[in-house]
Structure 1
Amino acid sequence: MKYDSTRHHRRSIRLKGYDYSQAGFYFVTICCYQRQCLFGDIVNGLMQLNQYGEIVAETYQSLSFRYSYINLDEWIIMPNHFHGIIVLTDKPCRGVSRNAPTPPINSKPKRKPLGRLIGAFKTVSTKKINLIRNAPGSSVWQRNYYEHIIRNQKSLNNIRQYIINNPISWNVDQLHPNNPSKW
């Protein structure tokens, strides 16, 4: 079968020409495959993580230990999606990634762009979850993710409040499986 490049072409939602490895605040939303509720339940306005949700939390938090230029701001795991603010700093890398050797002393280390960081997070969490549920190769996350470059303090504060209040507004969330205005 001949490959048809137009058949699988997807329009990128990323800002064209923007360097996603540069320092900045980035808001990301990552949805579960087919928006299935895998990570726990909302009980009395609070998210109660299950074993898979705990894996997602652990994997996400490990990003800031694995990559010295990452700080994690506000974040929340919901039953079928994840919201987080990732801060890429100008702090130099420690060279702790197992995928790349420690750079020579006189060279400037190359940082992974946001998309590669999200890809690493999704890959590691998927492998760990699938190991537990004995489902090798099964999808946990949807392809791609939503991102927003946070450009000012007002936007940062609004997004923080949105993340904090997400569990309280779960019943009317557009990603809630019973919402009539589904995706």
Structure 2
Amino acid sequence: MKEISYSSAGHHLNDSGAIGVNGRKEAVETIQFRDLVNAQLKMLGKTVVQDKDSETLGQYLGRINPTYKDVLVEPHFNAFNGKATGVEVLIADNANDRSKKMAKELVDGFAKIMGIANRGVKTESQSARGRLALMRKKGAVALIEICFIDNPNDMKAYDKNKVNLACFAAQIIAKYDLN
């Protein structure tokens, strides 16, 4: 079996992340999505390295040692004002070509599947945080902001399509894995 590092859920159970429609927590949503994607990856014959639900991102990143052949993807949900919409994918400022191509396929596919705005591929310096620890790892690396957790229409599109999104994400991750 080949190994892929499918990254953390972005938040752990003691770090709820953004709070959205009807009190939905980013941590819960990203853990569920991570698990859906990882189940699909396993069906594709991949061995998955993932975070633990109570593990911080720092603990997870300190534990893994991906190579340039691996793929690291971290799901998140944006939040702003309840009206902002769309999917975007973040990559390192100095991202390699594999990361750029993978991110473009992910953002285009997610936007199409959900029928929401495509906010494009952005570099980490264009993000609200400026620097993202995940981007310091080797391999094809991307952080997916799936949609806006505080936008009811985005979340409706996500809920309707999350299994299809997970299947698509797994196919893209497997495509860019060089193991």
Shorter-chain TM-score category?
A: 0.3 to 0.5
- Greater helix percent: which structure? 2
Larger Rg: 1
TM normalised by structure 2 equals 0.32
TM normalised by structure 1 equals 0.32
